[in-house]
Amino acid sequence: MLVLRKADVGEILNGKEKEHIELVRQTYALHAQGATAVPHSTFLRFPDDPANRIIGLPSYRGGKSPAAGLKWISSFPANIHSGIPRASAVMVLNSLRTGHPEALLEASLISAARTAASAALAADILTEGRSPGGVSLIGCGVINFEVLRYLGAAIGAPGEIVVHDPSPARAEEFVRRCHELLPDAAISIADSVEDALAAQRLVSFGTNAGEPHADLTSAEPGTVVLHVSLRDIEPLSINGAHNIVDDADHVCRERTSLHLTEQMTGSRAFIDASIGQLINGTVAFTPDPDKVTVYSPFGLGVLDLALAVDVQATAREHGIGIDVADFLS
């Protein structure tokens, strides 16, 4: 059993943003071809503590390099008030020959990397080569910082960054980190979600909101919204926008904005396509220039799997991590 700690995983992931985006592209293509198995994520919630949850994401990737595994990721939003991350995660990779577990990885970094790679890939595809120049980041947490880094790899570093967070301290600390990452960028704080939506043609939601709180009326037509946190946008706005998803069956669950929109409208007709269909060219998508396009990725476990297998291979090659040879004996 190869055990990879957070520092090991971080060392291997660092600087490979373009490779991760390509891995995510290939994995979405496989998923849209039906070459994966991604059962619904299992949400463990606590009856007396609705804010917290732990999610299990099993997955199988077929194709040329088959693999299987499970991510087990917890979200305890109040952690951030104690200065520790909201999310923590572990990933198990299993042998497809014996079924035995072969590797155990710290997975919060992998999870953030695949989420940001997915958002950056969608930004590239949905802005169709017209560089938006700037980005509004709504929610100043781990995920939106990763989104910013991966946008740099996918479409070039944004020259203008607008951020918004209800916590001024979180917004200011985020701005400081953005300055460190992109010293030449013009960075400002928006007072409201509406101002942030209006400020740029590319917007990313990375909040911990549990219920929709934002309508899209202040966004200019043609704006691309990366709805990574899934529960921010009002169903009426979702219904009035173009919608691209990672997997409609996954994303129309667990009270996401799309799930609420499905309940409101009684169908999924508001969803235009999956990102895999756009990658494979199996669905034509010509956005109405008067509409906003929203990308809502539920977050498929097979993306974590793809990155974890890559990390495991690099670790084996370079002798990184702790090999517990007698783990199963």
Residues forming contacts to ligand NAD in the complex (CB under 6 A) are 75, 77, 80, 86-87, 111, 115, 138-144, 164-167, 170, 193, 206-209, 213, 228-230, 297-299
Query: Which residues 6+ apart lie within 8 Å of 155 measured at CB?
Result: 120, 123, 124, 127, 131, 132
Closest residue to bound ligand NAD by CB: 141
At its nearest, how many Å lie between ligand NAD and the CB of residue 11? 21
Which strands make up the sheet holding 293-296, listed edge to edge? 186-189, 160-164, 134-138, 202-205, 224-227, 293-296, 242-245, 273-274
At its nearest, how many Å lie between ligand NAD and the CB of residue 262? 17
At its nearest, how many Å lie between ligand NAD and the CB of residue 170? 4
Closest-CA residue to 291 (of 225, 208, 211, 245): 225
Contact between 145 and 177 under an 8 Å Cβ cutoff? The reply is yes
When the beta carbons of 69 and 141 are compared against ligand NAD, the nearer one is 141
At its nearest, how many Å lie between ligand NAD and the CB of residue 149? 13
| Tokens (6 digits) for 80 | 């951030």
Closest-CA residue to 307 (of 145, 88, 107): 107
When the beta carbons of 179 and 213 are compared against ligand NAD, the nearer one is 213
When the beta carbons of 76 and 285 are compared against ligand NAD, the nearer one is 76
At its nearest, how many Å lie between ligand NAD and the CB of residue 88? 10
At its nearest, how many Å lie between ligand NAD and the CB of residue 108? 9
When the beta carbons of 255 and 318 are compared against ligand NAD, the nearer one is 255
Q: At 231, which amino acid appears?
A: R
When the beta carbons of 4 and 226 are compared against ligand NAD, the nearer one is 226
- Alpha carbons 257 and 236: distance in angstroms, whole number: 9
When the beta carbons of 102 and 200 are compared against ligand NAD, the nearer one is 200
